[in-house]
Structure 1
């Protein structure tokens, strides 16, 4: 897969990396600056195990659905171009 919606994967990777790194830096800075908020956010993970598991499973399933949709679309596009 060289392109996604007509945009080169290299460009998409560079843009996502340019957005991801500052966001992670800001979150890390905020956690360092205010550790109480970090502790408040993280303490619910062991307390609410079923909710945490459901959220993780939901994120995994949404990722799976997106990957399957892109894979199916690519397969159909390839088949149409090959047979046309």
Structure 2
């Protein structure tokens, strides 16, 4: 499953070896798919030693916000 369409929204799904990511958007742009895949790749690479033994604690992943901002260059609208 790579996309879920829900009324006006699309939920793009991407899968890695240890994680899954979802991006909610109004359009299914190819560039967003590539960026989501890039995020998965970089995230799994960055946390390679943590993910196989993930215990539920997310504190180690706090720097991920900067990674998301770097890849997506988003502006907060809410």
The alignment's TM-score, normalised by the length of structure 2, stands at 0.28
Structure with larger RCO (C-alpha < 8 A, sep 6+): 2
Q: Which has the higher strand share?
A: 2
Q: Which has the higher helix share?
A: 1
**Structure showing greater Rg:** 1
